[in-house]
Chains A and B, each alone.
Chain A
Amino acid sequence: MIQLDNLTKVFDTPKGAVVAADHISMRVPSGEICILLGPSGCGKTTTLKMINRIVRPTSGKVFINGDDTTDMNTQDLRRNIGYVIQQIGLFPNMTIEENITVVPKLLGWDKARYKERARELMAMIAMEPDAFLKRFPSELSGGQQQRIGVARALAADPPVMLMDEPFGAIDPINRAVIQDEFLKMQQALKKTIMFVSHDIDEAIKMGDQVAVFREGKLVQHCSPDDLLAAPKNAFVESFLGEDRALKRLNLVKVAEVVSDDIATVSPSDTLETALARIDDYGYQNAILMVNDQRQPVGLITRAKARTTKGYCRDHFENVPATVTLEDDLRKVASLMFAQDATWLPCVDSQGRVCGQITQRAMTHHLGSRFRAREAADRAVEE
């Protein structure tokens, strides 16, 4: 857990005092990622760097796992906090192995233990130890270097990590890959992480919480979904962008929206049965055909069922796409747009049909948060 208590930084500049961070108080529960988000110069980086005293706080306190760090020795404090920076900052004079084992060596681990740890970390970041440990940072690509940067920060297994725009200098394709890898690692490691970003999409993807900063002040601190659904003021709203409702698609999983009320036909049913079922359920275009294992095998269209006689197995069309319960709504929306479909069948991990997801259900789910907020606003006004 990281807790900030009225953390303030005032810089003395020739033009007078500048308040870079103004009485920041916030709490990040253990095992969660909190993204500090905001435009440049908003105080997010200053706030982050006050935690490991790269920037000395003017006033206020930092608690890590409940302990006040004010009286801790700076070196000891920093050795127990993983630190990743945008410029990566690998030491070019050291091999990858030496870079990764810097902190364990500072902490006085014995050789066998830190060597073993280096191999373990390389496996964790999916890089071949034998191929990379003896190489120098200049021989690696930017993405590989930042993976090593993350490994170095994790080397001594610190409970808390600070990351200052760690993936900002990496090209978009590699960035997405590293973000995914990092999230996967985080699921196992459960570090408490403060993460600076100016990228709203990164914040939504990586954050359990998002803290929006503006001009040294903490404006809003909540979950990404709450942030997108209920921005606190016009600044947050404009920072999130006009497509913030679309960004929420990333956050909602199919499982939250899926309806298990889906009618199907089997290949041995007649087209008349299919037509009757389409009408019973009020489907507009088609009905799904499933096999004995309830796996989707085809679509019977309404037009075909009305004009033709015979069995479903002889007159079906291909299923355009299916989604799984773990997919997010962004993928679903994309598939719907691509296939010109208003609904898609949803399958479980064994590929069996377990429900359907409709455009109506999606817009209803996303809209309910906005409607709830408007109702709350009205209640406050009344």
Chain B
Amino acid sequence: MPIQSLKGALRALLLVAIFFAGVWSQSSGVIDDFLFYLPDVRYLAAQHLWLTLMSGGLAILVAIPLGIVLSRPSMSRWAESLMQVLNVGTTIPTLAVLALSMSFLGIGTVPAVFGLFVATLLPITRNTYAGLKGVDPALMEAAAGIGMSPAQRLLRVELPNALYVIFAGMRTALTINVGTVPLAFLIGAGGLGELIFTGIDLYDPVMMLAGAIPTALLAIIVDALIATLAFLVVPRGVNPSRS
């Protein structure tokens, strides 16, 4: 009982605080300041999303087949060393990757998409590979023993059972991707980074937040979207969130 009343008191306090924060921001004109950037936010958020979709989409298209190929028994001799190469690849900071890709591809959208693509590739490949390798060997033996061809085994047994792990990889990768896109502004690809970095340079916290808050919101939305997709797509029998 005391804990419940404490919780209630805290909740009431929070509501009061939010109310006064609203009153303060209205009276001090912060809301109007933010609204001033609204058209910019709209335009740049669209650009931001476009960069994410391009780089993330390409990464998914490449990473999942790559993970599948690496997980084939015939590749087992090379797979681990290739995964190590990819692991070393991720330790390179994204900013460095962007700088490198700019020095080869120039400035603009193309080098930015390429740099983001490289940064997004690994988590998806790794999870696809790990997910497929993690399928119970007994299932594989049963699938082979009842006469499924290698392709049928992949499509009907391996992928459905690895799907949850693959989706977890996409979730991580794309959320990081959204959070990394602001750096693309530095090589001339636009996105919400334009408000963030310009805001920092001009000591304009409102401008900076006008870029940072939508970026954070976009990341959360993308994460939630993929989680929902996973909930709907992963078969019920192997879906921990539906059991």
Interface residues of A (CB under 8 A from B): 52, 54, 75-80, 83, 85, 87-95, 102-103, 106, 136-138, 152-153, 162
Contacts and interface: CB of A to CB of B under 8 A. Distances in A.
A90 B74 CA distance: 25
B138 A85 contact: yes
Which of A77, A95, A106 has the largest number of chain B CB atoms within 10 A? A106
Nearest to B164: A93
Given A93-B237, A106-B147, A138 B142 contact: no
Contacts of A103: 146-147
A90 B136 CA distance: 11
Interface string B40-60: 000000000000000000000
Contacts of B156: 91, 94, 102
A310 B243 CA distance: 75
Contacts of B160: 91, 93-94
B157 to A, nearest CB: 6
A153 B146 contact: yes
Given A87-B138, A138-B243, A152 B237 contact: no
B147 A85 contact: no
Q: How large is the interface on B (under 10, 10 to 19, 20 to 34, 35 or more residues)?
A: 20 to 34
B146 A54 contact: no
Given A91-B156, A93-B161, A106-B152, A78 B238 contact: no
Interface string B169-190: 0000000000000000000000
Given A54-B141, A89-B139, A93-B160, 6 more contacts: A83-B145, A89-B136, A89-B138, A93-B238, A103-B146, A153-B146
B136 A54 contact: no
Given A52-B145, A76-B147, A78-B147, A94 B138 contact: no
18 contacts: A75-B147, A75-B148, A78-B144, A83-B146, A85-B141, A87-B141, A88-B138, A88-B142, A89-B138, A90-B142, A91-B143, A91-B157, A92-B237, A92-B238, A95-B237, A103-B146, A106-B147, A136-B236
Interface in B153-171: 156-157, 160-161
B106 interface: no
Most A-side CB within 10 Å, residue of B138, B143, B146, B238: B146
A94 B160 CA distance: 9
B147 A79 contact: yes
Nearest to A94: B237
B149 interface: yes
